[in-house]
Amino acid sequence: MPTAAKPTILVVEDNPPLARIYREYLEADGYTVATVGTGAEVSAAVERERPAVIVLDLKLPDMDGLDVLKALHAEVPGIPVVVATAHGSISVAVDAMREGAFDFLVKPFTAARLTVTVRNAREKSELASMVERYRRELDRDGFHDFIGASAEMQAVYRMIESVAPSRASVFLTGESGTGKELAADAIHKASPRRARRLVAINCAAIPKDLLESEIFGHVRGAFTGATMDREGAAHQADGGTLFLDEICEMPVDLQAKLLRFVQTGLVQPVGGSRQEKVDVRIIAATNRDPLAEVQAGRFREDLYYRLHVVPVHLPALRDREDDALLIARRFLVQMAAEEGKRFTAFAPEVEARIRAFDWPGNVRQLQNVIRNIVVLHDGTEVTAAMLPEPLRSGTAPAATPSQAAVASPGAPPAAPPPATPSHPPRGEVGEGTIQHAHARTHNDVPRAAALLEISPSTIYRKLQQWKTGDGA
């Protein structure tokens, strides 16, 4: 049974009998002990031994122990140093404490005095590093490409860090604009697979009849237009990560093939007969409730349980404490630099409105609002008059994304009201609005998406649904 490595104590003592006594005391207390007899040897010994604690005699043959202590404090401030000094040298010990020594021992000292002092030094050091670790984790205002300091996002960061090293499938859920793509990217980058590719497939953006070929590839002649063999995403992601976004939009017959792939790791290109084994980690994502999709019969239950190994939910921006303001400030500085503008801050009233707003389109909506302000206005401070509706009036916190994107002073003409007489459900944009924006942008889906502050993949999905008559 493997045992944990014993912590090493470095004893710096030029007196051989005393060095041997201290070694005996410490080894009997369960430590590994390294000893050196000169100050010149200390730095290399610290590098080599990585001690948990250093016991330093202040009287060394080649240099002043206080100088050694100062150097240690500068080079390895996290390693506690206990100084040993002779009877009658208390003033030197006090100087050592001022220089950062953890404690001092007056010679001669007993075994108990040494081991208790070393134990205390270790415990204090471990507590300090634990506090530092928690502070680092809990105070993070960003993680990979995420911006956010809220407790909700700290939980997401920790979950990503925990799951990244394994090859377990991850199922990301969250509303549009919450950062599912960023999460997939962060998991891949924090994983041992980072040197290989992260290949992303948006299951809603690719026509159904081409999706199988996109994932598994095809052989020449497999279908009209297949003029040559083509490698699919699963093959491209070998050794890396395959990100299947909007997985719930995948046709049910293809779900069966994906299930087989998840179970076996075997790739069979469309039209081919040969199977090839690949090593792929799968991250799936959806903005729907995947279990509801299973219950509605639109998503295979067996595939759901294969993919839903580690669920990670990306919280909506409205549920993320003060993150909206933090993100807005970052975007403002970043976009002002990109656009050559002078904006550096928001007026207090604007900050209050950003905090109070519901952000149904989440971070993507916030991003577009800030871009809108930066592009259309100038100054050093963003004022309430620069805000697009409904942020400007501050009366409709639960606005739809389309409402938030338009009607800013000087902004391009707003999209007309949706074709339906009533507002669409929160976070949903009606067919009329999408079709109008699509036409106004000359069928440029990304631009239409930016105008409406929704994901381009949402538009692709809707267009596909309307085209095939599946309904919205």
Partner 1 sequence: MTAAGALLDHAVVDDMIAAMRPGAFGPILRSLEADHAARMGRIGVAASVGDLAALAGEAHDLASTLGSFGGMEAAGLARRLVDAARAGDRAAVGALLPSVMRTADATLAALRDRYGPR
- Residue ranges that bind partner 1, judged by CB under 8 A: 15-18, 20-21, 24-25, 27-28, 59, 86-88, 107-112
Residue closer to partner 1, measured from CB, 109 or 466 = 109
Residue closer to partner 1, measured from CB, 93 or 451 = 93
CB of 29 to partner 1, least distance (A): 9
CB of 34 to partner 1, least distance (A): 17
Residue closer to partner 1, measured from CB, 24 or 47 = 24
CB of 52 to partner 1, least distance (A): 20
Residue closer to partner 1, measured from CB, 93 or 163 = 93
Residue closer to partner 1, measured from CB, 87 or 277 = 87
- Distance, C-alpha 406 to centroid of its chain: 31
Amino acid at 442: H
Place of tokens 């929160």: 426
Cα gap 221→454, rounded to integer Å: 38
Place of tokens 């939910």: 313
CB of 31 to partner 1, least distance (A): 13
Residue closer to partner 1, measured from CB, 60 or 164 = 60
3-state secondary structure the chain: CCCCCCCEEEEECCCHHHHHHHHHHHHHCCCEEEEECCHHHHHHHHHHHCCCEEEEECECCCCEHHHHHHHHHHHCCCCCEEEEEECCCHHHHHHHHHCCCCEEEEECCCHHHHHHHHHHHHHHHHHHHHHHHHHHHHCCCEECCEECCCHHHHHHHHHHHHHCCCCCCEEEECCCCCCHHHHHHHHHHCCCCCCCCEEEEECCCCCHHHHHHHHHCECCCCCCCCCCCECCHHHHCCCCEEEEECHHHCCHHHHHHHHHHHHHCEECCECCCCCEECCCEEEEEECCCHHHHHHCCCCCHHHHHHHCCEEEECCCHHHCCCHHHHHHHHHHHHHHHHHCCCCCEECHHHHHHHHHCCCCCHHHHHHHHHHHHHHHCCCCEECHHHCCCCCCCCCCCCCCHHHHHCCCCCCCCCCCCCCCCCCCCCCCCCHHHHHHHHHHCCCCHHHHHHHHCCCHHHHHHHHHHHHHCCCC
CB of 89 to partner 1, least distance (A): 9
CB of 155 to partner 1, least distance (A): 48
CB of 43 to partner 1, least distance (A): 24
CB of 17 to partner 1, least distance (A): 4
User: In sequence order, what are the beta bridge partners of 105?
Assistant: 84
Residue closer to partner 1, measured from CB, 24 or 75 = 24
Sign of the torsion angle spanned by Cα atoms 139, 145, 151, 155: negative
Task: Please choose, from the candidates 398, 341, 401, the residue with its C-alpha nearest in 3D space to the C-alpha of residue 371.
Answer: 341
Residue closer to partner 1, measured from CB, 108 or 379 = 108
Q: 246 with 457: CB under 8 angstroms?
A: yes
CB of 66 to partner 1, least distance (A): 16
CB of 46 to partner 1, least distance (A): 24
Residue closer to partner 1, measured from CB, 85 or 458 = 85
CB of 128 to partner 1, least distance (A): 28
Residue closer to partner 1, measured from CB, 31 or 171 = 31
CB of 172 to partner 1, least distance (A): 56
Residue closer to partner 1, measured from CB, 20 or 377 = 20
Residue closer to partner 1, measured from CB, 84 or 204 = 84
Place of tokens 């060095």: 19
